Structure 1
Amino acid sequence: MSRTVKRAFKFRFYPSDVQAAQLARTFGCVRLVYNKALQARTEAWTLRQERINYNATSALLTGWKKTDELAFLSEVSSVPLQQALRHLQAAFTNFWAKRAKYPTFKSKKRSRRSAEYTASAFRWRDGTLTLAKMTQPLHIVWSRPLPEGCTPSTVTVSCDAAGRWFVSLLCEDVITPTGASGAVGIDVGIDSLLALSTGEKITNPRHERADRQRLACAQRDLARKQKGSANRAKARLAVARIHARIADRRRDHLHKLTTRLVRETQTIVIEDLAVRNMVKNHRLARAISDAAWRQLRTMLEYKAAWHGRDLVVVDRWFPSTRLCSACGALAQPMPLDVREWTCRCGSVHDRDVNAARNILAAGLAATACGDDVRPQRESSRTGQSSAKQEDPRATKGVPVL
């Protein structure tokens, strides 16, 4: 059965000088409105214990436009400014639900420069896109076709640190189901990006390491430039382009890999990893960040939802590496440099493939007993998931080698 999903299609475009100046002003106004609204909401709660919602900040925005200091806010489209207030409201909603930290101010140098336009603020006609307050359509490079007959509901314009302009069109797309069967367990790593329970190991391309020398030279060149000079701005762009090249290659590889896994397999079992805690190990932080395990999981989650696949997440405390997938014996903790080990039953295990097979068994056990596919957020030392309760190999009393 076909599924209709909301999907963003991102394209690069090349604005004229007038359009670039207009969009730069819009980005600045969006950032200013977001920061002022955040300040107003923070002061209201700190001083009066009062919660200000989106409607109140929208009324404040109307008042700001009438002042002499902020009259320039009327020079840009009002829709991106209203969308900034809605994004702030969503940030506070996530904070109150304890899904995120308290919202922070947007920085001119570090924050993403973007503006979101709804259907009332752009014109889509015959494959051309014209934004509000502009007379000419954007010069978009159509690298792939949009779904036939679709009309964008939201348009997001952004500019990255390398000076590249992008437009993202949110459209409804129909996902045609493809036949898939079987289940696969996945163990992520550094030497091998993925080890599958089938025995296949996918090499980690290490995109950051491939460009590390170029990046180091560019960063040294940037460090020599005088702050505030035009040459420093050029050197900063050179560093940003190398970072963009690394990120683009990594994202492209992960997209191809996750698409292949989702199309070929019905049930995918992965391990819940605390990547934020793991990168605190300064010896492995660079390699873990280059592997992008969190980005891999995010892609698997939304692509599995699109194609109707089952994504099972096993508790992070499940001892997948030390369990023998043949007899179920639990070995002693082993250092990372041990890539193969022999069980007392005589089975010789590849560390990563054995972990992937145990992850698959634990995920199928969790599914069989009807537990939620998302593991418990608290430590399994206080409340174990069914993945650990169902599998007899991980229970108390298993002989330790």
Structure 2
Amino acid sequence: MLGYISIQDDFQTMLKAYKYRIYPNREQQVLIEKHFGCSRFVFNWALALQKRYYAIFGKSLSRTKIQSHLVKKKKKKKAKFSWLSEVNSQSLLNALRGVHTAFTNFFKGQAKFPRFKSKKIPQRSYQCPQHCTANFAQGMINLPKIKGIKTVFSREFEGKIKTVTISKTATGKYYASMLVENNEVVPTPTTIEPSLTVGIDLGISHLLVLSDSSKVDNPKHLSKASQRLSAQQKIFARKQKQSKNYQKQKLAVARIHEKVRNQRLDLHHKVTYKLICENQATSYAIEDLGVKHGKEP
């Protein structure tokens, strides 16, 4: 399915993201889990190195220096890092890029100080920045180190695959998000006309209130699932940690949360599609209130 559209102003090329459900076999799952673990390890190792350097000198190491440190450790005979060679090296370099970006945003005041990635978090992901292909006829994708992963293509695309992000949900489902560069013409910005502009206000009793007096009801998916969720969480709290029943009940709770999330995403897609396709508006005005904190950002 189509995830989002972004535009690169420098090259005037359009990028589209497609997200597909994948079904790796047992061997492929092991390799994917290794990529998850190695990417997390490299991220935490680079972050620890950056923190020590920052504590001493008050600035961050360059990405090139960190990358050279990692390469040296992997090449040493009987090195502790030699097992990192079992996974795609470009995915590890992308983890280093993530640390560099996090520190850059921190120094710019755009983000908080980066934190270590926990092994206990069930949601995991890693990125393949190159050498990825999709075969629509056979229904599979090929990644570095992992070939022939069964994929359900909800729609086909044309263009060059820039990156592929493999992710795993808390319920154990695997997905592949593909960023594709195509030759579509970059849309030109439209002129804002008041008569063709729809104002959107976040409501209290309704999800949205539009300037044409129409309203979008809030189905309150979480409230409807709260009774079932509360019962499952009470059962989960009584389970002994690290037991099989603990893991089973943890999965049951995660499934309820995942269903609520999917219901919300489905509603968002339907509402945005209706706003775009079922009226003559060419622009939309949305309030910039920080609803979560109850104040303007």
* Range into which the TM-score falls when normalised by the shorter chain: 0.7 to 0.9
For 1:90 and 1:184, the matched residues in 2 are separated by 36
What one-letter code is carried by the residue in structure 1 that aligns with 2:102? Answer: A
| Residues 1:98 and 2:101 are matched in the alignment | no
Deviation at 1:137, TM superposition (A): 0.7
- Cα displacement string for residues 333-380 of structure 1 (whole angstroms, at most 9, x for unaligned residues): xxxxxxxxxxxxxxxxxxxxxxxxxxxxxxxxxxxxxxxxxxxx6xxx
Question: CA RMSD for the aligned pairs?
Answer: 2.5
Name the residue aligned to 1:157: 166
Name the residue aligned to 2:7: none
Aligned counterpart for 1:189 among listed residues 203, 227, 244: 203
- Cα displacement string for residues 244-287 of structure 1 (whole angstroms, at most 9, x for unaligned residues): 11001101111221233244422211111123423xxxxxxxxx
Larger Rg: 1
Name the residue aligned to 1:166: 175
Name the residue aligned to 2:270: 256
What one-letter code is carried by the residue in structure 2 that aligns with 1:223? Answer: A
Name the residue aligned to 2:235: 221
Question: Is residue 124–residue 151 contact of structure 1 (8 Å, CA) maintained in 2?
Answer: no
Name the residue aligned to 2:253: 239
Question: Is residue 136–residue 153 contact of structure 2 (8 Å, CA) maintained in 1?
Answer: no
- Cα displacement string for residues 17-41 of structure 1 (whole angstroms, at most 9, x for unaligned residues): 1110111111011001001101101
SS in 2 for 1:210: helix
What one-letter code is carried by the residue in structure 2 that aligns with 1:131? Answer: L
Superposition map of 1:203-352 within 5 A: 203-263=217-277, 264=279, 265-278=281-294
What one-letter code is carried by the residue in structure 2 that aligns with 1:234? Answer: K
SS in 2 for 1:26: helix
Aligned counterpart for 1:60 among listed residues 49, 69, 88: 69
What one-letter code is carried by the residue in structure 2 that aligns with 1:10? Answer: K
For 2:70 and 2:212, the matched residues in 1 are separated by 58
Q: Which moved more, 1:82-91 or 1:60-69?
A: 60-69
Aligned counterpart for 1:109 among listed residues 120, 126, 148: 120
For 2:175 and 2:232, the matched residues in 1 are separated by 24
SS in 1 for 2:45: helix
Q: Which moved more, 1:189-198 or 1:30-39?
A: 189-198
| Residues 1:30 and 2:39 are matched in the alignment | yes
What one-letter code is carried by the residue in structure 1 that aligns with 2:156? Answer: L
Deviation at 1:68, TM superposition (A): 3.0
Aligned counterpart for 2:156 among listed residues 146, 156, 174: 146
SS in 2 for 1:90: helix
What one-letter code is carried by the residue in structure 1 that aligns with 2:71? Answer: T
For 1:100 and 1:49, the matched residues in 2 are separated by 17
Name the residue aligned to 1:89: 100
Assess, with a 3 A threshold, how the Cα gap between structure 1 residues 139 and 125 changes in structure 2: closer, same or farther.
Answer: closer
For 2:144 and 2:283, the matched residues in 1 are separated by 45
For 1:31 and 1:226, the matched residues in 2 are separated by 27
SS in 2 for 1:152: strand
What one-letter code is carried by the residue in structure 1 that aligns with 2:49? Answer: A
Q: Where has structure 1 moved over 4 Å in runs of 4 or more? A: none
Identify unmatched segments of 5+ residues in structure 2: 1-11
- Cα displacement string for residues 290-335 of structure 1 (whole angstroms, at most 9, x for unaligned residues): xxxxxxxxxxxxxxxxxxxxxxxxxx66xxxxxxxxxxxxxxxxxx
Deviation at 1:4, TM superposition (A): 5.3
Query: TM-score scaled by structure 1?
Result: 0.64
What one-letter code is carried by the residue in structure 1 that aligns with 2:275? Answer: L
Query: TM-score scaled by structure 2?
Result: 0.85
Aligned residues: 276
Question: Is residue 190–residue 204 contact of structure 1 (8 Å, CA) maintained in 2?
Answer: no
| Residues 1:74 and 2:90 are matched in the alignment | no
Question: Is residue 9–residue 146 contact of structure 1 (8 Å, CA) maintained in 2?
Answer: no
Name the structure where strand makes up a greater proportion of residues: 2
For 1:191 and 1:158, the matched residues in 2 are separated by 35
Name the residue aligned to 1:356: none
What one-letter code is carried by the residue in structure 1 that aligns with 2:35? Answer: T
Identify unmatched segments of 5+ residues in structure 1: 279-315, 318-376, 378-401
Assess, with a 3 A threshold, how the Cα gap between structure 1 residues 199 and 276 changes in structure 2: closer, same or farther.
Answer: closer
What one-letter code is carried by the residue in structure 2 that aligns with 1:228? Answer: Q
Deviation at 1:146, TM superposition (A): 2.3
Name the residue aligned to 1:343: none
For 1:188 and 1:50, the matched residues in 2 are separated by 42
For 2:178 and 2:44, the matched residues in 1 are separated by 26
